[in-house]
Amino acid sequence: KGPDPDLVAIAERMATVKHKILVLSGKGGVGKSTFSAQLSFALAGMGLQVGLLDIDICGPSIPKMLGLEGQDIHQSSLGWSPIYLESNLGVMSVGFMLPHPDEAVIWRGPRKNGLIKQFLKDVDWGELDYLVVDAPPGTSDEHISIAQYLLATGVDGAVVVTTPQEVALADVRKEISFCRKVGIRVLGVVENMSGLRQPLAGFRFVRPGDGADVTDWAMDYIRERAPELLALEGCAEVFAASRGGALGMCRDMHVPFLGKVPLDPQLCRAAEEGRSCFEDQRCAASAPAIREIVEKL
Ligand code: ADP
């Protein structure tokens, strides 16, 4: 029996891609697509040629996060053409293939695998420095096929995104075990939505017991007695991270911890509006943290 023709086709297509990074998460809603999008913006901002491939079949959010909703994919003799946001940032998403953004994709395993295979085989990326792959959450059949195909053509590794709570970390452990089983290197773990930073001057103060708003009184008190406190930021640990959060888990599992990205309403806004957080002064809480993580990759 000869080599699998699909694998040969994928290997040929991927031959012009220098680095491939898989972005994974144990659960949905932890910020995997947000990180994939901002990672792509960051790499493109460094002048690299970047492709962002969204194969999160059940919830493709990349078109929205890059401001590309409603775009159609075009085909040429070379394959499916990515949608270019910049000349060095091309995007391909299952979302572009849905008739309506609210449409659910309920495809069974074989069709999902077929689509993923097609995406790896038929997208005309051209020469790329980086291909960022936004994978579906979890460790399902799709992952095994993605892993097989990417491994056969060489993948740098996976970044695993999580939130700090133990319920999320439990799934990350499974994700890491999965990577080990199939032979994908874990580049590291990102703890997203890690605390909410706010300047003290932005806090509302409430009285314990009756919950009355005593902000004016508290701020007057601080201004009078300790005005130096006004320059401080507070950080609320929104999600209780038992057992040391993602950092503790990384130590236990011997994988690199890449860093924390705080909850940042401005990052959420940038994502909703399809913008890069690096070009938005208001993303001061999150953008430097994400940049630091990208620099470690
Ligand atoms: P996933 O891909 O893991 O399902 P998303 O990236 O779609 O998760 O993120 C879920 C929601 O949370 C989105 O609305 C996104 O903008 C928001 N979000 C992600 N990370 C942050 C953050 N650090 N601060 C604020 N909002 C965030």
**Residue range 189-246, pLDDT digits in tens:** 999 999 888 888 888 999 999 999 999 999 999 999 999 998 888 888 887 666 678 9
* Residue 32 assigned as binding residue: yes
- Does residue 205 belong to any structural domain of this protein? no
- Rounded distance, CA 19 to CA 14, Å? 9
161 found inside a domain = yes
Give per-residue pLDDT as tens, 234-259.
888 887 666 678 999 999 999 999 99
CA dist., res. 104 & res. 93, Å (int):
14
Q: How far is CA 106 from each of CA 30, 109, 111, 141, 147, rounded to the nearest angstrom?
A: 22, 10, 10, 15, 22
- Provide mean pLDDT across the span 150-161: 88
Q: Is the pLDDT of residue 105 over 80?
A: no
Lowest model confidence (mean pLDDT) among 26-30, 69-73, 207-211, 282-286:
69-73
Contact, 185 vs 30, CB < 8 A?
no
For the entire predicted model, the pTM comes to 0.91
The answer to the question of residue 38 being in a domain is yes
Residue 261 Cβ inside 6 Å of ligand 1? The answer reads: yes
Q: Which atom of ligand 1 is nearest the CA belonging to 261? A: 23
**154 known member of a binding site:** no
What is the mean predicted confidence (pLDDT) over 155-172? Answer: 92
Domain that holds residue 190: 5-197+235-296
In DSSP terms, 122 is beta-bridged to none
Q: Give a yes or no: residue 117 inside a domain.
A: yes
Whether the CB-CB separation of 123 and 86 falls below 8 Å is answered with no
In a domain, 214, yes or no: no
Question: Is position 2 annotated in a ligand binding site?
Answer: no
- Residue 213 is assigned to a structural domain of this protein: no
Q: Has residue 148 got a pLDDT over 80?
A: no
- What does the mean pLDDT of the chain come to? 89
Whether 264 is in the pocket of ligand 1, judged by its Cβ within 6 Å, is: yes
ipTM: 0.99
Cβ neighbours, 10 Å, residue 296:
13
Nearest CA to ligand 1 atom 27: 268
Task: Name the percent of the chain lying above pLDDT 70.
Answer: 94
Burial 88-111 (b: 16+ CB within 10 A, else e): bbbbbbbbbeeeeeeeebeeeeee
**For a pocket test of ligand 1, which of 24, 34, 190 has the largest count of ligand atoms closer than 8 A to its C-beta?**
34
Q: Does some domain include residue 204?
A: no
Query: For position 131, which CATH number holds?
Result: 3.40.50.300
For the chain, how many structural domains are there in total? 1
pLDDT the model gives residue 289:
96
Report whether residue 189 contacts ligand 1, using a CB cutoff of 6 Å. Answer: no
Look at residue 221 and tell me if it is in a domain: no
